[in-house]
């Protein structure tokens, strides 16, 4: 992994908008050690909190969604919700997600793993998921966006792109995606103006995928 990719990973792990480019001055082994220590600390913390989040997930079965949404907005941080939904049935989590403010959902996605976000996102309206994607893009969490796009259903991705109608965001997502076959499948279904703008963005990033847009 390059220094730039490692710093980007750290930024997303810490969920921060701060400029961490100063870390590039560190040697590779020190930077890798910092990344490893931070991830291990987060893992230990989450393991200790896991029983609490499991109990909260069970409790959601007995509380109306509008009350859960009220509690979330007023008292629970997006991080807590991101941990609780791990232990919920995706359909139940999606129903609660529909009761949350869209801006709050975007914050939850910052803390949730792409796997969890995709599992729930595939069951939600494209308009809601598109706003989450837009929020992640605004914060330049492109690596997480790429992973999320790899995991969302093709149909959902196409609908999200139609809602976004932003070729720059689509280009950045394609640049970060690993599943190039998926990109090639959905490109023909994109609106022409989105394809054109995405191609320009990929060209600016020096990505050869641009020729397929």
**How far is residue 162 CA from its own chain's centroid?**
18
Instruction: Write out pLDDT tens, residues 125-181.
Output: 999 999 999 988 988 888 899 999 999 999 999 999 999 999 999 999 999 999 999
Per-residue pLDDT tens over the stretch 16-64 = 888 899 999 999 999 999 999 999 999 999 999 999 999 999 999 999 9
How far apart CA 142 and CA 162 sit, in angstroms, is 19
**68, pLDDT greater than 90:** yes
Contact 133, 160 (CB under 8 A): yes
What lies within 8 Å, CB to CB, of 79 at 6+ separation is: 111
> Which of 103, 191, 109 is closest to 152 using CA atoms?
109
């Amino acid at each position: 992994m390059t220094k730039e990719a490692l710093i980007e990973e750290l930024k997303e792990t810490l969920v921060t908008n701060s400029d961490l480019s100063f870390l590039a001055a560190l040697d590779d082994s020190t930077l890798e050690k910092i990344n490893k220590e931070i991830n291990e600390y987060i893992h230990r913390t989450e393991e200790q909190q896991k029983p609490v989040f499991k109990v909260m997930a069970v409790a959601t079965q007995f509380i109306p969604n509008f009350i859960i949404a009220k509690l979330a907005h007023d008292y629970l941080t997006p991080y807590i919700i991101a941990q609780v939904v791990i232990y919920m049935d995706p359909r139940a989590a999606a129903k609660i997600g529909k009761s949350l403010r869209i801006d709050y959902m975007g914050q939850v996605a910052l803390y949730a793993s792409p796997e969890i976000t995709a599992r729930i996102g595939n069951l939600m309206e494209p308009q809601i998921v598109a706003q989450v994607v837009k929020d992640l893009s605004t914060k330049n969490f492109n690596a997480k966006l790429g992973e999320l796009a790899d995991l969302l259903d093709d149909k959902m991705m196409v609908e999200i792109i139609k809602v976004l109608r932003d070729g720059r965001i689509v280009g950045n997502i394609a640049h970060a995606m690993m599943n190039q076959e998926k990109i090639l499948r959905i490109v023909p279904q994109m609106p022409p103006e989105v394809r054109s703008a995405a191609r320009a963005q990929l060209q600016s990033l020096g990505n050869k995928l641009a020729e397929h847009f």
